[in-house]
């Protein structure tokens, strides 16, 4: 395994989309093309599957130095109402593109820290959305909660509005690790919010754990996992820390490179952590995610309905996902669009009556083919090529996979590719073989985190 780690531990995307953001072709993109793609996707799918909405709530009271998200650090809660008013105005601009009421299937509040906002202000935002839509059958409403500031009122208010899923960012319980990443978070805080959520009736409670953090040892990781098991969340995200300090504003400077585990140490954190999770009853779902048998994520996997988008893995699959808020990314299947990345610019553009996209990508025929295969690999760990003529560089991709087959990472039968159990840890590497845009334009500098 160590030799495979050395061989395959290279920079690579996490594939929440294809093409990945650094390879978007902005020369063929325009706001008008984006609107056209939204209208097309909405009319193709709204009646049957509905749409998804992602709302980016960027404010945090303190900077966690492991975070690579777009956020705004402030303790001034006067920013809440103006920002939420802008989000509702942006949503109204999308409503103007539709000639019928949207059917809302999936809604996620991400950040930043959604629970930075007061329960009442979140209720005002959500009621402003809900009065304009019809709610689909079996909707999936979820939010990210910070254990240090999520109150029982937050949980009850959002539950009353239809939310049944919540994810709490735990990361690690070791005090030395917490200090390095500026995320001081006692176990008691996580215990309180988890138990409150269970009492209220949430049926999908998730904890986020991160391996590869500064000063992290296996002893600390094992302690974190065993403490997490005391609370028995329905699912776990077991993420590899993405060290990308070159990206402006990520704040990953609370520690030295030498404080990070080596590739071999980090791999042990994952392999031993994965084994412990499985011994404790969790089943690996896709990449980085584990769930108990009763959880919807696992059920979606066995019924081959697992989906992956900019929100990560999801049990709902909608073709159109509208991203609202500063830096939010939207996906119409035929195109991607990202909003401007500062709060002030976002609010100014929305006040001008414009959808605040700053960049995007219109997928061509080849993109759509490759996207489907990478999605299959990331969600089902397999894909099949039935028509090689539609994918001219297929044979090259299969040749590249031969070496992975020799290493026991994939099985190839004709044009069917399956990722093996041993290959799960290298799923990103397998998907990279099909990433034609990256292969044709290999970056001269680091733009992705390491795959291992």
The answer to whether the CB of 209 falls within 8 A of the CB of 168 is: no
| The two structure tokens encoding residue 55 | 């709302």
What is the model's pLDDT at position 13? 84
List 283's β-bridge partners, or say none. Answer: 291
What is the model's pLDDT at position 446? 45
115 φ, ψ to 5°?
A: -80, 10
- 230 burial (CB, 10 Å; 0-12 / 13-18 / 19+) is exposed
What is the model's pLDDT at position 246? 42
The rounded distance, in Å, linking the Cα atoms of 75 and 163 is 26
The rounded distance, in Å, linking the Cα atoms of 124 and 157 is 11
What is the model's pLDDT at position 452? 55
Cα distances (Å, whole numbers) of residue 254 to 39, 100, 186, 219, 241: 44, 49, 20, 22, 14
The rounded distance, in Å, linking the Cα atoms of 382 and 412 is 10
Return the beta strands (E) in 123-260 as ranges. 134-145, 165-171, 204-211, 235-240
What is the model's pLDDT at position 440? 81
SS3 330: strand
Q: What is the mean pLDDT of each run of 10 residues along the chain (452 residues)?
A: 66 84 93 98 95 95 77 91 98 96 97 95 98 96 96 98 96 92 92 98 95 92 95 93 57 66 84 92 88 91 85 85 97 97 97 97 93 91 73 69 90 89 87 87 57 52
What is the model's pLDDT at position 17? 87
The rounded distance, in Å, linking the Cα atoms of 281 and 278 is 5
What is the model's pLDDT at position 303? 83
């Amino acid at each position: 395994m160590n030799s495979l780690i050395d061989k395959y531990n290279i920079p690579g995307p996490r594939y929440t989309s294809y093409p990945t953001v650094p390879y978007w072709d902005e020369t063929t993109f325009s706001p008008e093309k984006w609107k056209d793609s939204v209208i097309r996707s909405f009319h193709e799918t709204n009646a049957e599957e509905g749409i998804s909405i992602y709302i980016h709530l960027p404010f945090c009271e303190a900077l966690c130095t492991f975070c690579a998200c777009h956020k705004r650090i402030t303790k001034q809660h006067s920013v809440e109402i103006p920002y939420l008013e802008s989000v509702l105005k942006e949503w109204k601009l999308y409503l103007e593109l539709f000639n019928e009421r949207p059917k809302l299937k999936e809604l996620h509040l991400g950040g930043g820290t959604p629970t930075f906002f007061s329960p009442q202000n979140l209720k005002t935002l959500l009621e402003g959305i809900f009065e304009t839509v019809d709610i689909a059958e079996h909707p999936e409403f979820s939010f990210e909660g910070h254990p240090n500031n999520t109150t029982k009122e937050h949980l009850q208010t959002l539950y009353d509005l239809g939310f049944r899923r919540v994810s709490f960012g735990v990361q690690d319980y070791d005090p030395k690790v917490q200090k390095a990443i500026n995320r001081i978070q006692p176990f008691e805080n996580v215990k309180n919010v988890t138990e409150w959520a269970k009492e209220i009736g949430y049926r999908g409670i998730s904890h986020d754990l991160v391996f590869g953090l500064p000063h992290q040892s296996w002893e600390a990781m094992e302690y974190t996992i065993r403490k997490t098991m005391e609370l028995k969340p329905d699912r776990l995200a077991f993420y590899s820390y993405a060290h990308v300090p070159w990206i402006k504003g990520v704040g990953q400077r609370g520690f030295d490179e030498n404080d990070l585990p080596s590739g071999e140490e980090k791999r042990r954190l994952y392999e031993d952590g994965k084994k412990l999770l499985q011994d404790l009853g969790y089943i690996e779902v896709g990449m980085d995610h584990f769930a108990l048998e009763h959880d919807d994520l696992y059920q979606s996997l066995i019924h081959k309905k697992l989906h992956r988008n900019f929100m990560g893995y999801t049990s709902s699959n909608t073709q159109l996902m509208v991203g609202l808020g500063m830096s939010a990314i939207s996906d119409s299947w035929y195109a991607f669009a990202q909003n401007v990345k500062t709060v002030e610019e976002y609010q100014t553009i929305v006040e001008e009556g414009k959808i605040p996209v700053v960049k995007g990508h219109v997928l061509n025929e080849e993109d759509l083919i490759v996207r489907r295969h990478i999605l299959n690999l990331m969600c089902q760990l397999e894909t099949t090529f039935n028509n090689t003529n539609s994918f001219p560089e297929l044979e090259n991709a299969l040749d590249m996979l031969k070496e992975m087959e020799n290493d026991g990472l994939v099985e190839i039968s004709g044009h069917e590719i399956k990722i093996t159990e041993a290959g799960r840890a290298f799923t990103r590497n397998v998907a990279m073989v099909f990433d034609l845009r990256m292969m044709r334009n290999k970056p001269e500098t680091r733009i992705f985190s390491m795959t291992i």
